Amino acid sequence: MTYRAQLDRLHAAGTYRQRHPVTSAQGPEITYRGKVVVNLSSNNYLGLAHHPKVIEAAKTMLSSAGLGAGAARLICGNHEVFETLEARLATFKGTESALLFGSGYTANLGLLQALAEDGTVYCDRLNHASLIDGARLSGASLRTYPHRDNNQLNRRLRRTEGPVLVATDGVFSMDGDLAPLRELADLCTRHSATLLVDDAHGTGVLADDGSGSVHLAGLNSTQVPVQMGTLGKALGGYGAFVAGSADLIDYLVNRARSFIFTTALPPAIAAGALAALEIVMSDEGQQRREALQSNRTYLANGLKALGWNVPDCNTPILPLLVGDTTQAAALSERLLESGILAAAVRPPTVPEGTSRLRVTVMCDHTHAHLDKALAAIDKPPRPSGG
C-alpha cells in the first residue's frame, strides 16, 4: 500500500496525526494554532519550563559551553555539569548513582536492551510505548499482564523460568493512576525478579519531597532497584535519567547502547535541569506541589460535578474518557474554539474504544483558568449511535 493510501486509512479511522504550531512558552496559557488558549495538555506540571532561575542557569551555561556537547559522553562530550546533575538526581531519588539519557524514550530502550538480555520482560498492558518498544527490541520474551493485575502477574511469574524483569509506569501516562508498587515489589522479591519503575510522571510531583511514586509507596532502592525518570515533564526541560546502585549505573555506561552511541545532551539543558531540580528539592518546590495538588482537587471536583468519572489519585493527569475516536477529536476541537487546549488521545496511544481527552493541571493555573475550562468542557457526551 502506498503512503498516501495508508494515510487515507488513518484519516478514515479518525487517527490521523498532525503537528500544530506553538508560538509561546509552555505556560498555563499557550499560543497554539495562532490563538491564546488555556493549556490543559502540558506535562510542565510545576511550571519550571519558564521559571526565571531555570532560564538563567541554562543561559549562563549556553554562554560558556556553547550549544552542543560535541560528542558522546564516552568520547569528549562529558561536560562536568552532567556529573553534577547525576549526583543530585541520585540524592533526590535516594540511590547510589544516576545516569543521564537523551530522553525517556531512549532511556527505556537502553535499559531494556541492557537489562533484559535473553530472559522475560513483563509489562503492564498500559505501560508507555517506550517500555514496550524497549522490551521488543531487547530480544527478551515480552509478555504483558492486565492493567494493575498483580494476581495475574503472580500466576504468570510462577510459571516463568530464567531471568525476569518486571517493568511498570509508576504513574500511567494516559490514565493518571498509580501502579500498585508495594505489591509489585513483594512479588518481585518472592520470584527473584527485577523491578523497573518508569516514574516519568511521578518525578517532581509525588511524595512530600517530590521524589516520586517509589517513595510515595514507602519503597526504597533495594525494593525498586531500577528507577527511571524524565527531565522533560515536571522538571520542565529535556532528557531523562536512570537511578540505582553504582554497579547498575556502571553496567549501563558499558552496555546501554542508547547511552553509548549518541551525542550527550546539550550542557545548557543539563544546567537548566539542575536548577529545576534544586527548586523541586527546596521549599519552593513544596509550595509548587501544594498548589498543583490544590488545582488538581479543584478541577477534579468540578469535573465530577459535571458527571465525568475522574480517578481518585493525586496525580496531575485527569483522563476524560469519551470512547469513540471521532467524538473525542470533535470534543477537543470544540474546546479549542472555546479557548481550551485539551488534546485528544486516540489509538494506538490508548486501546481501541478508549479515546479520551488527556487533561493535565499545572501549579500556576488560576481558578479563573480552571473555571473557564470547566464551563467549556461541560457534561460528558452521550455515546454515539445509541
Ligand X SMILES: Cc1ncc(COP(=O)(O)O)c(C=O)c1O
Q: Which residues are tagged catalytic? A: 173, 201, 233
Amino acid letter, 217:
A
- Taking the complex as a whole, how short is the minimal distance between the CB of residue 311 and ligand X, in angstroms? 16
Positions in 167-196 near ligand X (CB under 6 A): 169, 173
Minimum CB distance to ligand X, residue 367 (Å)? 28
User: Is the bond into 348 cis (omega within 30 degrees of 0)?
Assistant: yes
Report whether 99 contacts 110 (CB < 8 A): no
Interface with ligand X, residue 39, by CB under 6 A: no
Residue 212 vs 267, nearer CB to ligand X: 212
211 touching ligand X, by CB under 6 A: no
DSSP output for 332-379: HHHHHHTTEE--EE-TTTS-TT-EEEEEE--TT--HHHHHHHHHHH-S
Q: Does 124 bind ligand X (CB under 6 A)?
A: no
Shortest approach of ligand X to residue 109 CB, angstroms?
Answer: 10
Quick check: 103 binds ligand X (CB under 6 A)?
yes
Give the three cell numbers for residue 36.
491564546
Q: Which of 73, 93, 128, 215 binds ligand X (CB under 6 A)?
A: 128
Q: Find the shortest distance in angstroms from Cβ 108 to ligand X.
A: 6
Binder of ligand X out of 157, 200, 342, 376 (CB under 6 A): 200
Tell which one of 89, 166, 240, 344 touches ligand X (CB under 6 A).
240
As to burial, measured by CB atoms within 10 angstroms (0-12 exposed, 13-18 middle, 19+ buried), residue 322 is: buried
Backbone angles phi, psi at 132, to 5 degrees: -65, -45
Distance CA 271, CA 279 (A): 13
Q: For residue 3, give the H/E element and its range.
A: helix 3-13
Residue 294: strand, helix, or coil: helix
Is the CB of 128 or the CB of 296 nearer to ligand X?
128
Identify which range of 97-105, 113-121, 276-284, 356-364 contacts ligand X by CB under 6 A: 97-105
| DSSP category for residue 20 | -
Question: Of these, 28, 47, 77, 104, which contacts ligand X (CB under 6 A)?
Answer: 104
Q: Which residues bind ligand X (CB under 6 A)?
A: 103-105, 108, 128, 130, 169, 173, 198, 200-201, 230, 232, 240
